[in-house]
Amino acid sequence: MVCEAFIRNDIPMGVVTKARSDSMFFSVRLNPVVREVILHAYEYLDGGDTVRSRMQELMRQTVQQFVVTEIKQTGPFGWKIDPTLFTMPVVLDAFPHAKVVHLIRDGRDVMLSRLNARIENLDDPVNRVMTFGAADVDSFEGRPLNENTVKELRNELEMQHWVTAVEYGLHGRQYGDRYFEIKYEDICAEPIQAFEQVFDFLGVPFLDSAKEWLKTAVSKNRIAKWKDLPPEMIARPLEIGGPLLQKLGYA
């Protein structure tokens, strides 16, 4: 939704997928630089100058390649694909004029989205970093990370991934007016007002074409789907996500 709004507001986002508007240039599966930066995401936060300089140079090279191959014009541009949240500090340090819009959604609904195969593929160290914050994790709640654990503790693992990802994204708050948080639920409630804030933050005009699209494209029907779950299915995930849900005003 956000990526499509950007495109309709004349902000190029590169070649995007039809279903989710992901900028596949930055896919972990396809882009080895993005993969390496995510693997070092936590090391970067507390790393020395050597590590930080190397990660920044890698991101500069890959973003410049993205501009040359897919943007092909001057002026504002962006990209959207969720794993690059774990590259955010590197991007903001490497590009002093870059800005980030961090879209946050209620973790209980995110838990039910099942939009990717990350949890099914925890053999991949990148997926472990994005789920647990470390590549060497080999168990969850005292159980090995295998197919049976994923099947039986899927909601818990999804909530753990939400906590890890959102908490990493909150590091953007250290960058002041170059970082902007907005909630999915607020966009659904008042899309025009919400995007007025987004485009004002980015310093670009809010085009009528984008406004007209938003009036019919946004729906509230995916909010609070978690309430349909029986209490026993939500209890443990709430123990995992509760503190962050409360911190963000969801609970």
- What pLDDT does residue 87 have? 98
**What tokens were used for 86?**
């774990």
What does the radius of gyration of the chain's CA atoms come to, in whole angstroms?
18
Q: Which domain holds residue 101?
A: 2-247
CATH number at residue 90: 3.40.50.300
Nearest-10 Cα torsion for 108, 36, 135, 148: 60
Distance between alpha carbon 105 and the CA centroid of its chain, in Å? 10
Q: How far apart are CA 76 and CA 46, in angstroms?
A: 30
Q: What is the pLDDT at residue 103? A: 97
* pTM exceeds 0.85, yes or no: yes
Which residue, 115, 122, 114, is CA-closest to 149?
A: 122
pLDDT by residue, tens only, the chain of 251 residues: 899 999 999 999 999 999 889 999 999 999 999 999 999 999 999 989 999 999 999 999 999 999 999 999 999 999 999 999 999 999 999 999 999 999 999 999 999 987 667 888 899 999 999 999 999 999 999 999 999 999 999 999 999 999 999 999 999 999 999 999 999 999 999 999 999 999 999 999 999 999 999 989 988 888 989 999 898 889 999 999 999 999 999 98
Number of domains in the chain: 1
C-alpha–C-alpha distance, residues 83 and 35, integer Å? 9
What local confidence, expressed as pLDDT, does residue 120 receive?
86
State both tokens at 51. 């590590």
Q: What sign results for the dihedral spanned by CA atoms 119, 125, 131, 132?
A: positive
Q: Quick one: CA torsion of 202, 200, 163, 83, rounded to 10 degrees? A: -30
